Amino acid sequence: MLHSFFVILVVVQLSTTILSSCKKVVKNDFLIDKSLSTKVGDITANIKVDTLNFKECYGGQNISQYYAFNDKPYKNGKSHLKEYFVENLNQENFKSFNGLIRIRFIVNCKGETGRYRIHAMNWKYEKQELKIKQKSSIITCLNSYGDFKLLSNNEFPQNYYFYIILKIEEGLIQELLP
């Protein structure tokens, strides 16, 4: 019994030593790394790539994910957004592209979009670099769309994160997800 007590004491002492040597704090019984964003996937402003005229409402606090609301973010449905991209995206810029392009962005409380983060991959899920004119074409298309719904919480329109994925084969948009 005395042996068990010493084993427990050593384990507790080791745990305390290891935890105190980490750059983490204990809060609500969870370890929290202070260098991480408050939410998974926060898009922080970057003056090198973001337009300066896009502003989130309410100081950008508590930006929700689109699926946290009871409504869909498309005013006229997903098929309308796909048709819009097919008609307005300069697909000539993508004629040699085959794969998926994911665009994640913020829709503010006025329905404006900004802070685009664009990632592309081929059919083997390997990262692909897009040319500046390809990214610019996507951003221009989204900036002029203007048909995202104002999603509200307690009757006040909110900022929300949204994303779309373009499935492109031989330069043609085959599908728009989600």
User: Per-residue pLDDT for the chain (178 aa), expressed as one digit of tens each?
Assistant: 545 544 454 444 544 444 444 444 444 444 445 554 445 567 776 677 777 788 887 777 777 777 666 677 777 778 888 898 889 888 788 888 999 999 998 888 888 888 889 999 999 999 999 998 999 899 888 888 878 888 887 778 888 888 899 999 988 899 988 8
Position 171, amino acid: G
pTM exceeds 0.85: no
pLDDT of 26 reads 44
Determine the Cα–Cα distance for residues 108 and 150; give it in Å rounded to an integer: 8
State the burial class of residue 23 (Cβ atoms within 10 Å of its Cβ: 0-12, 13-18, 19+): exposed
Q: Which two tokens stand for residue 76?
A: 């006229």
β-pairing, 160-169 with 156-157?
A: unpaired
Alpha-carbon distances of 100 from 8, 14, 124, 151, rounded to whole Å: 53, 48, 10, 27
Strands 25-27 and 30-32: antiparallel
Instruction: State the pairing for strand pair 64-65/160-169.
Output: parallel
- Helices (H) then strands (E): counts for the chain: 3, 10
